Structure 1
Amino acid sequence: MQFDTWLLFAGAAIALAMAPGPNNLLAMFNGARYGVSSAAVGGIGRIVAFALMIAVTATGLGVVLAASETAFFVIKWVGAVYLVWLGIKSWFAKVNDTEDTSGQTALMVNPGPYKLAKTEFLTAIGNPKAILIFTAFFPQFLDPAVAYGPQFSTMGITFIIMESGVLLAYGLLGGQVKGFIKSARHMRVLNRVSGTLLVAAGVLLALTDRSRTTA
């Protein structure tokens, strides 16, 4: 892959990664609830999911999945239901009003790195638009005169690096919000905003069709 082609790909990749989708919302709200480090650890689940999708695309299975109406329908609705469930869960999440021995309030119990990463993984893997993006986006930058494997590997690694940087940026943004969460009432407002946005993302995913996704 020539350097100028790689630069063009990297710019397009970071633009795609920055789009405010469900995973970026999760990173931001995890940062606001639990801190930047928790948002970063949770983001590992997303990176694993995208790495698997890129590998699937590289083997050619991504094209098969992208062309399958049934696969798109199943993944879309599973992902949409999961997002709506996450939104409802966020809306009714328990907030602690009890002060600890230091006089501070532990407003939300951190679910731990495994659950944070699992939620990000399932959110990413349940979005069929990602497979469609990889199958439509990556091939545009392939040089047919150059070996396929090294080019695809370079693009995959680049995309993962860009995605990692973006999830950290959203986590940092959420971390800035965390400084303003001073009471249980503030946390409940944050949870309801998070829940509403996740439900909306689920509804939008359910309404998505393949033609609009690939446009």
Structure 2
Amino acid sequence: MTFEQLIVFLPAALLLAASPGANNLLAFVSATRAGWLRTAKGILGRLAAWAVLVVLVSLGLDMLLRTSEVAFVALKWVGVAYLIYLAWQFWSADVSQETEAPDVSTLMRREFFTLMGNPKAYLLLTAFLPQFVNDEAALMPQLFSLGALYLLVEGVAALVWVSAGTFVGARALTPLRRKIINRASAGLMGAAALLLARTDRTV
């Protein structure tokens, strides 16, 4: 990638990574209860999922999702079901007493499976990364390099959402405030599920 391409790629990738998608909403919600450091570690689950997606897209899974309605719909509804499950967990959480925040492994699993269940993430890689590929060079190394760079940008954007969630969560001290945070979190997860359910194969 040339310097000119890099100065276009980084801002575009940052805007893309910072958009309020399911994983960023999840990071925000998680940080309201688990705090900054624990949730930041949980982001590693998302980055691991992105790394897997880069490999899968390079191997051609994106073509399956583009050409097979059954595969796309199946993956989409798995993602919707998981987001609804998370929404129910937040909605039904007991706020009568202070409960232990999710541990890092739980946060990592949530981040990982939320991303892996979103077919738009697969297609996004093939719509965004190839714009910065040099046709005169080998494709696979370029995709891996661009994917690695995008992972760094994704991590930075995720930490912004984590910081915002930590700020809000630090003020949710009473049972009533915890209930409001939980119900609002459930609403955000439900909204993410609805958006995913309404998506199609266009990027």
Same fold (TM over 0.5): yes
Per-residue CA distance 1:67-88 (angstroms, 9 max, x = gap):
2211110010110111111111
Match of 1:187 in 2: 178
Are residue 176 (structure 1) and residue 167 (structure 2) matched? Answer: yes
Equivalent AA in structure 2 for residue 182 of structure 1:
L
Alignment of 1:157-176 (within 5 A): 157-176=148-167
Match of 1:101 in 2: none
SS at match of 1:210: coil
| Structure 1 unpaired stretches of 5+ | 98-106
**Identity of matched residues, %:** 37
Match of 2:128 in 1: 137
Relative to the length of structure 1, the TM-score reads 0.90
Per-residue CA distance 1:83-128 (angstroms, 9 max, x = gap):
111111111112252xxxxxxxxx2312211111101111110000
Of the structure 1 ranges 3-12 and 188-197, higher mean CA displacement relative to structure 2 is found in: 3-12
CA distance in 2, matches of 1:128, 1:29: 22
Contact 1:30 1:38 in 2 (8 A): no
Equivalent AA in structure 2 for residue 83 of structure 1:
L
Structure label with greater radius of gyration: 1
Equivalent AA in structure 1 for residue 123 of structure 2:
L
Alignment of 1:21-32 (within 5 A): 21-32=21-32
Shift of 1:63: 2.4
Match of 1:54 in 2: 54
Contact 1:66 1:131 in 2 (8 A): no
CA distance in 2, matches of 1:31, 1:132: 28
SS at match of 1:87: helix
Match of 2:91 in 1: 91
Alignment of 1:64-75 (within 5 A): 64-75=64-75
Per-residue CA distance 1:126-150 (angstroms, 9 max, x = gap):
0000001011111111110122233
Match of 1:199 in 2: 190
| Structure 2 unpaired stretches of 5+ | none
Contact 1:80 1:206 in 2 (8 A): yes
Equivalent AA in structure 2 for residue 47 of structure 1:
L
Contact 1:30 1:36 in 2 (8 A): no
Length, aligned pairs only: 203
Match of 1:103 in 2: none
Per-residue CA distance 1:47-77 (angstroms, 9 max, x = gap):
1111100111122332233322111100101
Contact 1:66 1:135 in 2 (8 A): no
CA distance in 1, matches of 2:3, 2:141: 14
Match of 2:16 in 1: 16
Contact 2:47 2:151 in 1 (8 A): yes
SS at match of 2:42: helix
Per-residue CA distance 1:157-188 (angstroms, 9 max, x = gap):
11000011111111111111122112111111
Equivalent AA in structure 1 for residue 79 of structure 2:
G
Of the structure 1 ranges 7-16 and 70-79, higher mean CA displacement relative to structure 2 is found in: 7-16
